[in-house]
Copies of this chain bind each other. A is one copy, B any other.
């Protein structure tokens, strides 16, 4: 989907400004520029620039008033659950704190989603879950990257829950899961066990066993959360480099 994928100038500016904002590039010392300056900086007309700013305003990142200029909103007003915002944050500032908080969201939602999926999943949805598991097993056998199928599994479960908010999280989740799971997979021992753990969830869902599915998913996500906490206490809080140096 990727609504802000840089086709046209406006979206490229949204992207650039969005990343700059969540990276903390603007502050009291370096306030957000006025329209005229931004136009010069990006070589764009006022229309384009204003439209970009409006999109960021719609995501809660900016606010503007005549004579007062445009300014970055306090972080608590950002729409963290907007796919773009979360992606910008995860790609540029994947702090342990953010990963942990996101893992807590997963811990809250994914077990419930698994339970619901066990109860209401359509055959299409079940097929998607089964496929993801099969590909995970295959990747594990062939020593390939299990990340894509791992993500596909979690997204399939969220969708299969039949809850639109949960499904929504799958979109939000994509980029966050990528970083989150990659981190988890860097521990080979954990990875091997992980395939079996995922299969257990899948089996329970396919069998319509909500309680088992919920418990198994809770175990898996709790494990991810524990790993983040462990890594956090073992290291600093900015893991940009560590994550990027992971394979692929």
Contact = CB atoms under 8 A, between A and B. Distances in A.
Interface of A: 1, 3, 10, 14, 47, 50-51, 54-60, 63, 75-77, 79-84, 98, 101-102, 104-105, 107-109, 111-113, 116, 163-169, 171-172
A57 B57 contact: no
Contacts of A164: 75-76, 80, 98, 101
Contact of A3 (B63, B102, B108, B163): B63
A59 to B, nearest CB: 6
A104 B116 CA distance: 10
Contacts of A171: 77
Can you tell how many copies of this chain the complex includes? 2
Contacts of A14: 58
14 contacts: A47-B47, A47-B50, A51-B51, A56-B58, A58-B59, A79-B79, A80-B164, A80-B168, A81-B81, A81-B165, A101-B164, A101-B166, A104-B165, A105-B166
A225 to B, nearest CB: 11
A53 to B, nearest CB: 9
Contact of A104 (B1, B56, B82, B163): B163
Given A81-B168, A101-B164, 12 more contacts: A3-B57, A3-B63, A54-B58, A58-B58, A75-B164, A76-B168, A77-B171, A79-B82, A79-B83, A81-B172, A102-B165, A104-B165
